[in-house]
Chain A
Amino acid sequence: MSIADATLIPTTKRAWLTPARTTGLVLLGLLALFALLGPLLVSVDPTEQDFAASLASPGSDYWLGADHYGRSMLARLSHGARLSFGMALLTVATAAVPGILLGLLSAWRGGWLERLLELVSTVLLALPGLLLVLILLAFAPGTFGPLYLGLALTLWIEFYRVTRVTAAGVLKQTHVEAARLLGFGTGYILRSLVLPEIRPILITLAAFAMSTAIIAISTLSAISVGLRPPTPELGAMIVELLPYYAEAPLHVLMPGILIFLLVLGLQLATRSDLG
């Protein structure tokens, strides 16, 4: 309902650090520590086999138990988390930097550059991203190269498009025209007027792209076209343990829970619809 007297009604301002956001950031922090420090503290080789400990339950010898080859689940999970984080960060950085720069350039200059980039992104978007990655993977299944290339190739488009649209929106605004009339130059306008307004949406987008990359890498590994055992990749670990679900259901679920927590943390930390 629109009421002209809205200014009379007292409003409460929402803080940036909501409980959900705090939870998400704490969760991400803990997982990052696990991924960074885990492999250092647990000095067990994640590929070292100990058949006596095959499918050991969580306990004193193996904190989180051992898999069917008797490899330490804790070591494998922390290496898996590091791998997921690392690969997702690398992929997203590769996608975000050119995406954002090209988006800004396109919004600022327009013309043939914008038309060319629009064409390229339309062509790439014609096909669902996973299909593109799958076709590239046919070149060398089980390796990181095509996986990384394919994901970056699909993810940059979102950064490019969002940056271009929001930056163009800001550039069209009255206050930018006013700034030009007041004598401010291009550098100031992009740095001080455009960037602060598109930063929040880019952070959300980066988290979203991280989630997409984490999910895609583990999914492709789980359907045997991504990274393959014995690499401690979370998706591959699930498939490897799947035949033993009856004896050790918790072992099968553990890597899944880790993926879940990673993506949940990213969502909680950046979603704007959480109170």
Chain B
Amino acid sequence: MNAPVRFQSLTVSGLEIRAGNTTIVRDVAFTLSHGRPVTLLGASGSGKSLVAHAIMGSLPSGLSARGIVKLDDDDLLAGSPTQTRARWGRTIAILPQEPWLALDPTMRIEGQVGEIHRYLHGLGPAEAGKSMRDDLAEVGLGDRTKAYPHELSGGMCQRVAIAATHAAGASLLIADEPTKGLDAALRDGVVDRLREEVDQGRLLLTITHDIEVAAALGGMIGVMLDGSLVEFGPADEVLDNPQHEYARALIAANPTRWPALALPTAGEPIVSATGLSKRFGERVLFDGFDIAVRRGEIVAIVGPSGCGKTTIGNILLGLVRPDSGEVQRSPGIAATRFQKLYQDPPAAFAPHQTLRQSFGDLLRLHCLAWAQAEASMRRFGLGQELLDRRPGEVSGGELQRFAILRALLLDPVFLFADEATSRLDPVTQKEVFAILIEAVRERGLGLLMVTHEAALAEKIASRILKLPA
């Protein structure tokens, strides 16, 4: 059931968000209307999510918003908390990030959609049940009304959340990182669904870090950096001819726009494996898999999540034993010259040690000098002051550069990068890969990368191995 759309436009001007006396978001202005959705792009920490919550009126306690946010003639920031609250669901709805976490795990989805008709619109149980079934049928879940969230896929949970916003009857939809944690196929499904919402006449504001999502949604694109909106314009203009320096860097950081990479011819094989097979319980991850990584080449393994990509790298490193198959390393090379980069940079460092402690211990173990580490730090643009912080107090991008630096100190011949940039923003991702490519070129390092991003693999890998789901 789709409630009639009652609003024509959302106007934001001079929006400012403060934490106590500190202004953390400033000068945000944009207009959003029928058929012209707005997408805010930016790295995490750029303030884009805060803008969404300021419009919704759901900022965390301690934060306050000032400026003008108008839905037609209705000033959203001017009202009392009760008025703000009364708009939730009925007028503005938020599509949560990671919807499988945003649904109550102990309640069937029929209850989670039906309760909106029952308690928001005051329908009787029978009517509410009928409307709920219509809502779920409309998003293609008519036969799954009795399911619990854990019995549904991520994409299905996303559709339950959409059905909930339809039930509430909101005209303005705010999608907060709607594709976070979804792989490429599911991501396209969500984007299609959002486009449909626009076609049905709803106002749509999307928050994302994914340029592909912004491009597919069209309409207007805004780019945020450090709490400011640095660029705003029609999607094709922003994507093809960005004005602001950061916007240019951000657009250029999209792997499809990276310059072509030419590596010298690869050398002899460093590590190879034949006939690998591995199963987890009943499920066969792969069977009879062959792989070889040579000096000075980049090999990529791509495939959807859960297909066993990481396991192959771990087998080559000796961290996981294959059920069958052989791994050969080229002889006479120390075990510590086979290294790994992790997906979640903070997890790769002991949380209670400062970086100075971890690096000090490593240098002492391998009889290396601080000068060597410091030289690399300067080269990678890492300041000395970062050494006295713990991993949790350093940004993901900086920490991943520290992780590369740590691996390179041991003069590796083989490096396994396990989704090493998937948690980083595009600009940082590009910087990290620049360092890695340089190491491949200069040291003849063999790089094995695992990724779910096909575009990234196609751009830089010498060879691509695809794993099926």
Contact = CB atoms under 8 A, between A and B. Distances in A.
Whether A and B touch directly in their complex, counting CB atoms under 8 A apart, is answered as yes
Interface of A: 1-5, 7-10, 173-175, 177-179, 181-184, 188, 192-193, 196-197
Interface of B: 19-20, 22, 24-25, 44-50, 53, 58, 60, 62-63, 97, 176-177, 207, 227, 317, 319, 335-336, 338-340, 342, 344, 347-353, 361-362, 365-366, 395, 403, 406, 410
Given A1-B58, A4-B49, A8-B47, A177 B25 contact: no
Nearest to B416: A181
A175 B49 contact: no
A181 B352 contact: no
Contacts of B20: 10
22 contacts: A1-B53, A1-B58, A3-B50, A4-B97, A5-B44, A5-B48, A5-B50, A7-B44, A8-B24, A9-B19, A10-B22, A174-B347, A175-B349, A175-B350, A177-B340, A178-B340, A181-B336, A181-B338, A183-B335, A183-B336, A196-B352, A197-B352
Contacts of A174: 342, 344, 347-348
Contacts of A177: 319, 340
Nearest to B24: A8
Given A3-B50, A5-B49, A174-B348, A184 B365 contact: yes
B53 A182 contact: no
B172 to A, nearest CB: 19
Given A3-B53, A183-B410, A175 B351 contact: yes
B361 A192 contact: yes
Contacts of B410: 182-183
Given A8-B24, A9-B63, A178-B342, A197 B351 contact: yes
A48 to B, nearest CB: 53
A197 B19 CA distance: 33
B406 A182 contact: yes
Contacts of B406: 182
Nearest to B340: A181
B343 to A, nearest CB: 9
Question: Is the contact region of chain A dominated by helix, strand, or loop, or is it mixed?
Answer: helix
A177 B344 CA distance: 13
Nearest to B48: A5
A175 B347 contact: yes
Contacts of B351: 175, 197
Contacts of B207: 4
Contacts of B44: 4-5, 7
Nearest to B224: A5
A267 B243 CA distance: 60
A8 B58 contact: no
A133 to B, nearest CB: 37
A182 B50 contact: no
B422 to A, nearest CB: 14
A7 B336 CA distance: 35
Contacts of A8: 19, 24-25, 45, 47, 50, 227
Nearest to A199: B352
A51 to B, nearest CB: 61
A179 B347 CA distance: 12
Nearest to B63: A9
Contacts of B338: 181
Contacts of A193: 350
Shortest beta-carbon contacts, A-B, top 6: A174-B347, A7-B45, A4-B49, A183-B336, A5-B49, A8-B24
A101 B366 CA distance: 30
Interface-central residue, A8, A174, A177, A179, by most chain B CB under 10 Å:
A8
Nearest to B336: A183
A5 B50 CA distance: 7
Contacts of A175: 347-351
A173 B22 contact: no
A4 B176 CA distance: 9
Contact of A181 (B339, B350, B366): B339
A117 B366 CA distance: 38
Contacts of A181: 317, 319, 336, 338-340
Contacts of B97: 2, 4
Contact of B45 (A5, A178, A192): A5
A178 B340 CA distance: 7
B340 A9 contact: no
Nearest to B357: A192
Nearest to A9: B19
Contacts of B319: 177, 181
Given A7-B45, A175-B350, A184-B365, 10 more contacts: A1-B60, A4-B176, A8-B25, A173-B347, A174-B342, A175-B351, A179-B350, A182-B406, A183-B336, A196-B350
Contacts of B403: 178
A105 B233 CA distance: 62
A253 to B, nearest CB: 44
A192 to B, nearest CB: 7
A223 B278 CA distance: 62
Contacts of B347: 173-175
